[in-house]
A and B are shown apart, each in its own frame.
Chain A
């Protein structure tokens, strides 16, 4: 029986795709972005936090350790939680979003979950950094209804500097996806001084122009999550960075909009 490590399930997620959704957060990510809003998602193993965790979040009667972030769970345990909100998915044409961390990093687990969702006729979205072997994408592409694809930095060096890895595979996978033509929504984290530079925005625009036909682009403005890091005993490299100004957000979203792409802020 396939198991995987997840660290949270959020119900009434209303900014992770269409309708009312349940978002399942996978633990473990091949990137290590300095601004990551879910630092607990990076390490693939369960870990201790100073934060109180709801012990009944997934398995009501399993254990008493409320400080452990991340839990190894079965596909059926996750499905049980997903199926609870079926009536809301139906009413809103919503569904489930797999996010993280990087869901593709647990490809067997992800594939089983996607298959089960297909059986139950639940709309699926996959929020991905795009960093995964091509075979992984191949295995799930027909099971995913909507890709939420994160594009951060176009310049390979900057990408390496701020996320810990290069972006070659990511861009190749983006291209691959565009060729196979599933529905894609682009997600662009707006990090002051890092991703909001002219060159980067131009670079992203170029990427999209070459591959038109995206359903929309979501701009995700930076916010301070230092406390999350300190709870895990880690430093937050971007401590003290101010959230982007309203006007800057508007300017950038205007630029994308001018290309005829639907833009949304927040996510």
Chain B
């Protein structure tokens, strides 16, 4: 009992210590921040009611889908409540108030049971009041029954697909979220929506009646124009409201502020922004538009914020209309807006694969300009200050690190990492560019790109890059070992390759795995195409299409292949588990004759019950991925190549291409639950490895070895990879430590790697790690003149380290 109290206060001490270094925010921001952090997410029926009303009360039989969708958006934007918080500088929320989360019944109608689960679940609940439940029962559910995208998606898939989906071979991103996964470029900083409407008109005049799609294109452009007007009216409504507020506001300072905000809302989005504030407000209105039109995954995102805003920042400082302090305050207010919009409530498998409130809007800074020059500027540093001062889980934040960026920048980013909340993630700008070039993007578009969501690479403002689902590679391995039969349920879901007793070499075994893999990839890709067509047909996004080049010029929707580049991703999961499992088979069965394949499969089916000796062989005496041992790392590469070959270059349903990336969000837990014991010694139901990280605890030779192993993967062939590393605070506590960590990262990036993310761990966690070592296997600590894994240390040394960490001046 006492222990717990002590460790709690230690944690506070430590964080207080770290936060003391951070500049405090002013009282306005502190209040807004406090409000958003405290408020529990709640479901609002507002949007569901408005959209249902619209579809119910209008005769839409002869109206095309882009026009229908645009009119629905217009109806919402003209009728939704306008929230305005005391002291707010940037306005606009997805719901009627911050943290009120709307639903999208036309895509996924929550059942009464769904609402109950959301309301009562232990992790990430969304409160649902009885009035909302009532509205759902009476109005929403009856109207949408049989008409939702979710129902259409599941209806369109084959029996084979359903069997694989239910067995946990893959997931489906579009079953309750619309395609999105994209990021805004620099368009809105140059053009107002009136200019965009001009572009629409121009595209219309360019249309030829001979075009076989003339009708569809005309309708699409019509829809786009209505969608553009919808946002302008939303902003005008805000201007009216703000002007009203000015009349009743007593405080002179706030009065002036409200007046200025009203002027801004009259200006943007109709016309291009002139100031820093206008630019931020403009983006935010656009953001609200995108996340109200549908519920795209990864919300929306301004992308390269320091590049877009820098001209406004510089100009404001020069003409005296802006100060550094004011810019910071506006950015902090902007940060809070993201935090006010939790992810739309996910249910079923989707909530298991992405179990978080975060909606993955990821802001990028740094990297290079479109001409390939160092893009870091004063605003980059200011934004890093903002991130450090806000400590919010949303927006997600990352730094692009290029060879051309100064060390000071990377070290400043590491200081923010040191403050201990996992931000920023660190990305390799050169790797991003290489990936985009390999996929056929122009060099300028590649340099203007970045990463969104978790680690997904894209050509910002110009690409539709849609994640279609996670793919469980270890499940395919399990099915290969069982000749296509799912040991969990006993039924056949894969193809019959070969009985396990008859493999005479590892290569022969791997060939069987590849056959099984391609079988499931074919199923997934075929369904992807159908699902993409469903969205193109029934749920176009004319509003999002305004923002991404070249949808307007092509007079084609974002969901129908209108973007300049069009990519569908399948995300490979369990790479580390695969590497170790295959290594175990190759090493123990084929190279060493430690046991036979039938013996191994037998043990797997018994979840290694009474197989102590076999487990010890596997755990203690078999090479593992993540230790810079080629034997195991080669099999990681081979696993990746097989997956890559099965996916890359295959057409999607919109004239684009399938590609791979390697990230898990939280699906490695769910996929793990779907897998029995595996040849790497992992017991049934335990989590798989995450991202491209080695199996939890299997990498025990320090960060240089992990980075070398991970660097052997051909990152350029992916659209993003994810690596997690845990560090103790003293590994980056001093300037010297930070410099060396920065050098470690630079070397890692020289190998062509894509991303790394650090967790910084304090004394309280070290204590917990000591109590539950199996959960903290790859926690790295500095010992005496070297760094090592905490769990590898003797108890005495651990005790000593815990004590030392508290004396942070060491």
Which residues of A line the B interface, CB within 8 A?
A: 10-16, 19-20, 23, 37, 51-52, 54-57, 60, 64, 66, 84-85, 87-88, 90-92, 94, 99, 220-221, 223-228, 231, 243, 246, 264-267
Collect the chain B residues with CB atoms within 8 Å of residue A51's CB: 794
Contact with A along B106-135 (1 / 0, CB 8 A): 000000000000000000000000000000
Task: Say if the beta carbon of B700 comes within 8 Å of chain A.
Answer: yes
Consensus secondary structure, chain A interface: loop
Known: A23-B786, A243-B800. 16 other contacts (CB 8 A): A10-B786, A14-B786, A14-B787, A20-B740, A20-B743, A64-B621, A84-B705, A84-B708, A87-B751, A91-B747, A92-B743, A94-B743, A223-B804, A225-B796, A228-B797, A231-B794
The reply to whether A11 and B701 form a contact with Cβ atoms under 8 Å apart is yes
The reply to whether A91 and B795 form a contact with Cβ atoms under 8 Å apart is no
Bound CA–CA A166/B800 (angstroms): 31
Bound CA–CA A142/B807 (angstroms): 40
If A20-B744, A91-B743, A92-B740 touch, whether A11 touches B705 (CB-CB below 8 Å) is yes
Of A54, A56, A265, most B-chain CB atoms within 10 Å: A56
Bound CA–CA A91/B403 (angstroms): 12
Task: Say if the beta carbon of B160 comes within 8 Å of chain A.
Answer: no
Task: Say if the beta carbon of B785 comes within 8 Å of chain A.
Answer: yes
List the 8 shortest-distance A-B pairs measured between CB atoms, nearest first.
Answer: A227-B796, A92-B743, A91-B747, A10-B786, A227-B794, A12-B702, A11-B704, A13-B786
Task: Say if the beta carbon of B424 comes within 8 Å of chain A.
Answer: no
The reply to whether B751 and A88 form a contact with Cβ atoms under 8 Å apart is no
Collect the chain A residues with CB atoms within 8 Å of residue B807's CB: 246
Q: List 7 A-B contacts (CB under 8 A).
A: A10-B702, A11-B701, A14-B782, A23-B786, A37-B784, A54-B701, A91-B744
Bound CA–CA A14/B742 (angstroms): 12
Task: Say if the beta carbon of B275 comes within 8 Å of chain A.
Answer: no
Collect the chain A residues with CB atoms within 8 Å of residue B21's CB: none
Collect the chain A residues with CB atoms within 8 Å of residue B751's CB: 87
Collect the chain A residues with CB atoms within 8 Å of residue B628's CB: 84
Task: Say if the beta carbon of B746 comes within 8 Å of chain A.
Answer: yes
Collect the chain B residues with CB atoms within 8 Å of residue A23's CB: 785-786
Bound CA–CA A99/B786 (angstroms): 12
Task: Say if the beta carbon of B453 comes within 8 Å of chain A.
Answer: no
Collect the chain A residues with CB atoms within 8 Å of residue B786's CB: 10, 12-16, 23
If A12-B704, A246-B807 touch, whether A19 touches B621 (CB-CB below 8 Å) is no
Bound CA–CA A265/B737 (angstroms): 13
The reply to whether A55 and B702 form a contact with Cβ atoms under 8 Å apart is no
Collect the chain B residues with CB atoms within 8 Å of residue A228's CB: 794, 796-797
Collect the chain B residues with CB atoms within 8 Å of residue A94's CB: 743
Collect the chain A residues with CB atoms within 8 Å of residue B700's CB: 54
- What is the minimal beta-carbon distance from B723 to any residue of chain A, in angstroms? 16
Bound CA–CA A63/B395 (angstroms): 50
Bound CA–CA A266/B750 (angstroms): 30
| Interface residues in B698-751 (C-beta closer than 8 Å to A) | 700-705, 708, 736-737, 739-740, 743-744, 746-747, 750-751
Interface residues on B, range: 35 or more
- What is the minimal beta-carbon distance from B752 to any residue of chain A, in angstroms? 11
Bound CA–CA A91/B749 (angstroms): 11
The reply to whether B631 and A90 form a contact with Cβ atoms under 8 Å apart is no
The reply to whether B785 and A224 form a contact with Cβ atoms under 8 Å apart is no
If A20-B740, A225-B796, A231-B794 touch, whether A12 touches B810 (CB-CB below 8 Å) is no
The reply to whether A20 and B704 form a contact with Cβ atoms under 8 Å apart is yes
Task: Say if the beta carbon of B627 comes within 8 Å of chain A.
Answer: yes
| Interface residues in B766-786 (C-beta closer than 8 Å to A) | 782, 784-786
The reply to whether B623 and A56 form a contact with Cβ atoms under 8 Å apart is yes
Q: Which residue of B lies closest to A91 (CB)?
A: B747
Collect the chain B residues with CB atoms within 8 Å of residue A87's CB: 708, 747, 750-751
Collect the chain B residues with CB atoms within 8 Å of residue A246's CB: 807, 809-810
Bound CA–CA A55/B622 (angstroms): 9
Bound CA–CA A13/B747 (angstroms): 15
The reply to whether B629 and A91 form a contact with Cβ atoms under 8 Å apart is no
Collect the chain A residues with CB atoms within 8 Å of residue B794's CB: 51, 227-228, 231
- What is the minimal beta-carbon distance from A53 to any residue of chain B, in angstroms? 10
Q: Which residue of B lies closest to A127 (CB)?
A: B785
The reply to whether B702 and A88 form a contact with Cβ atoms under 8 Å apart is no
Bound CA–CA A92/B703 (angstroms): 14
The reply to whether B787 and A227 form a contact with Cβ atoms under 8 Å apart is no
Bound CA–CA A232/B631 (angstroms): 32
If A87-B750, A87-B751, A228-B797 touch, whether A11 touches B702 (CB-CB below 8 Å) is yes
Bound CA–CA A19/B702 (angstroms): 16
- What is the minimal beta-carbon distance from A196 to any residue of chain B, in angstroms? 16
- What is the minimal beta-carbon distance from A41 to any residue of chain B, in angstroms? 12
The reply to whether B788 and A10 form a contact with Cβ atoms under 8 Å apart is yes
The reply to whether B800 and A224 form a contact with Cβ atoms under 8 Å apart is yes
Bound CA–CA A223/B801 (angstroms): 9
The reply to whether A12 and B787 form a contact with Cβ atoms under 8 Å apart is yes
Indicate which residue in A19, A54, A64, A224 contacts B796 across the interface (CB closer than 8 Å).
Answer: A224
Of A23, A92, A94, most B-chain CB atoms within 10 Å: A92
The reply to whether B795 and A85 form a contact with Cβ atoms under 8 Å apart is no
The reply to whether A12 and B744 form a contact with Cβ atoms under 8 Å apart is yes
Task: Say if the beta carbon of B620 comes within 8 Å of chain A.
Answer: yes
Q: Which residue of A lies closest to B746 (CB)?
A: A91
The reply to whether A55 and B620 form a contact with Cβ atoms under 8 Å apart is yes
Q: Which residue of A lies closest to B624 (CB)?
A: A56
The reply to whether B747 and A90 form a contact with Cβ atoms under 8 Å apart is yes
If A64-B621, A66-B620, A227-B797 touch, whether A14 touches B737 (CB-CB below 8 Å) is yes
The reply to whether B800 and A223 form a contact with Cβ atoms under 8 Å apart is yes
Bound CA–CA A90/B785 (angstroms): 21
- What is the minimal beta-carbon distance from A36 to any residue of chain B, in angstroms? 11
Bound CA–CA A29/B297 (angstroms): 62
Collect the chain B residues with CB atoms within 8 Å of residue A10's CB: 702, 786-788
Q: Which residue of A lies closest to B620 (CB)?
A: A66
- What is the minimal beta-carbon distance from A197 to any residue of chain B, in angstroms? 22
Collect the chain A residues with CB atoms within 8 Å of residue B809's CB: 246
The reply to whether B785 and A88 form a contact with Cβ atoms under 8 Å apart is no
If A87-B747, A91-B743, A92-B743 touch, whether A14 touches B701 (CB-CB below 8 Å) is no
- What is the minimal beta-carbon distance from B609 to any residue of chain A, in angstroms? 24
Collect the chain B residues with CB atoms within 8 Å of residue A66's CB: 620-621
- What is the minimal beta-carbon distance from B421 to any residue of chain A, in angstroms? 24
Q: Which residue of B lies closest to A247 (CB)?
A: B809
Q: Which residue of B lies closest to A54 (CB)?
A: B700
The reply to whether A225 and B743 form a contact with Cβ atoms under 8 Å apart is no
Collect the chain A residues with CB atoms within 8 Å of residue B737's CB: 14
Q: Which residue of A lies closest to B780 (CB)?
A: A12
Q: Which residue of B lies closest to A25 (CB)?
A: B786
The reply to whether B796 and A57 form a contact with Cβ atoms under 8 Å apart is no
Bound CA–CA A66/B620 (angstroms): 9
Collect the chain A residues with CB atoms within 8 Å of residue B744's CB: 12, 20, 88, 91-92
If A13-B787, A20-B743, A91-B743 touch, whether A266 touches B701 (CB-CB below 8 Å) is no
Q: Which residue of A lies closest to B799 (CB)?
A: A224
Collect the chain B residues with CB atoms within 8 Å of residue A13's CB: 785-787
| Interface residues in B308-327 (C-beta closer than 8 Å to A) | none
Bound CA–CA A239/B51 (angstroms): 74
Collect the chain A residues with CB atoms within 8 Å of residue B792's CB: 52
Bound CA–CA A12/B704 (angstroms): 6
Of A16, A85, A99, A220, most B-chain CB atoms within 10 Å: A85
Q: Which residue of B lies closest to A239 (CB)?
A: B796
Q: Which residue of B lies closest to A246 (CB)?
A: B809
The reply to whether B747 and A60 form a contact with Cβ atoms under 8 Å apart is no
Q: Which residue of A lies closest to B745 (CB)?
A: A91
Bound CA–CA A13/B785 (angstroms): 7
Bound CA–CA A243/B740 (angstroms): 27
Bound CA–CA A94/B736 (angstroms): 13
Collect the chain B residues with CB atoms within 8 Å of residue A243's CB: 800, 803-804
Collect the chain A residues with CB atoms within 8 Å of residue B708's CB: 84-85, 87
